[in-house]
């Protein structure tokens, strides 16, 4: 219990420091939503009116794009600073709420979501905290909810990423689709992304 508290504190402090660094502009940061989100309407898994939770939303680009396209979005991040930035970037956007929350802590959510998206958050969460993440994911979803997870292949192969996510989620979620795509800013960040589409059993 205390150990997890300490782990969460370390994660929170690390991201808060990064986001508070003046002109923090890591290579993975993109000014457009990820390609798999942009094609989600054509693919049929994004539909206006759905409720969406974005985990680790950063500056809020994807969350705002989804709200602008008619979805009801709650976007959370562990850094209070980046949540303030996101709120400033996208003020008064109907259907969009930003909230500071740690997805590895017990978080009470008033609703369950049709779609849950994580682009690049889980890959940074230490193994000891991933079970808390998984439990929250189960609490925030229902049978049929879709969970779309993106992880880069900088330090792991596609097969290693697949094994990593299957061991975590296969008991509660069925893997229905996998994709490999370059990031939107491939000229700066040239690692492929593995994208896993799960549906809650």
Ligand X SMILES: C[S@@+](CC[C@H](N)C(=O)[O-])C[C@H]1O[C@@H](n2cnc3c(N)ncnc32)[C@H](O)[C@@H]1O
| Secondary element (H or E) of residue 147 | strand 146-152
Q: Round to whole Å and give the CA distance between 183 and 61.
A: 14
Kindly tell me which residue out of 37, 74, 79, 115 binds ligand X, with binding defined by CB under 6 A. 79
Q: Which is nearer to ligand X, 26 or 174 (CB)?
A: 26
Q: Confirm or reject binding of residue 78 to ligand X (CB under 6 A).
A: yes
Angle at alpha carbon of residue 118, lines to 125 and 185, rounded to 5°? 100
Within 13 A of 91's CA, how many CA atoms are on the CB side? 3
Q: Confirm or reject binding of residue 58 to ligand X (CB under 6 A).
A: yes
Phi first, then psi: what are they for 24, rounded to 5°? -60, 120
Angle subtended by helix axes 61-68 and 80-89, to nearest 10: 40
Please choose, out of 41-49, 71-79, 162-170, 192-200, the segment that lies near ligand X by the rule CB under 6 A: 71-79
Binding mask 89-108 for ligand X (x = CB under 6 A): -------------xxx----
Binding mask 131-170 for ligand X (x = CB under 6 A): ----------------------------------------
Kindly tell me which residue out of 119, 141, 193, 194 binds ligand X, with binding defined by CB under 6 A. 119
Measured in residues, the chain has a length of: 201
- Report, in Å, the least distance between residue 34 CB and ligand X: 7
Q: Which is nearer to ligand X, 66 or 76 (CB)?
A: 76
Angle at alpha carbon of residue 3, lines to 171 and 21, rounded to 5°? 95
Q: Confirm or reject binding of residue 124 to ligand X (CB under 6 A).
A: yes
43: Cβ contacts below 8 Å, ≥ 6 apart: none
Binding site for ligand X (CB under 6 A): 11, 15, 28-29, 56-58, 76-79, 82, 102-104, 119-121, 124-125
């Amino acid at each position: 219990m205390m150990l997890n508290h300490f782990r969460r504190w370390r994660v929170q402090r690390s991201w808060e420091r990064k986001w508070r660094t003046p002109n923090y502009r890591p290579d993975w940061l993109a000014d457009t939503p990820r390609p798999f989100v942009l094609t989600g309407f054509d693919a049929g898994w994004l539909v206006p009116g759905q409720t969406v939770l974005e985990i680790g939303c950063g500056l809020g680009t994807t969350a705002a794009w989804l709200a602008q396209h008619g979805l009801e979005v709650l976007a959370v991040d562990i850094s209070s600073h980046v949540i303030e930035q996101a709120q400033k970037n996208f003020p008064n956007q109907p259907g969009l709420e930003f909230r500071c929350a740690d997805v590895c802590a017990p978080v009470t959510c008033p609703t369950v979501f049709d779609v849950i998206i994580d682009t690049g958050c889980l890959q940074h969460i230490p193994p000891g905290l991933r079970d808390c993440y998984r439990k929250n994911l189960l609490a925030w979803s229902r049978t049929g909810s879709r969970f779309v997870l993106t992880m880069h292949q900088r330090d792991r192969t596609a097969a290693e990423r697949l094994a990593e996510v299957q061991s975590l989620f296969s008991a509660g979620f069925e893997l229905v689709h996998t994709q490999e795509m370059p990031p939107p800013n491939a000229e700066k960040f040239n690692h492929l992304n593995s994208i896993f589409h799960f549906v809650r059993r």
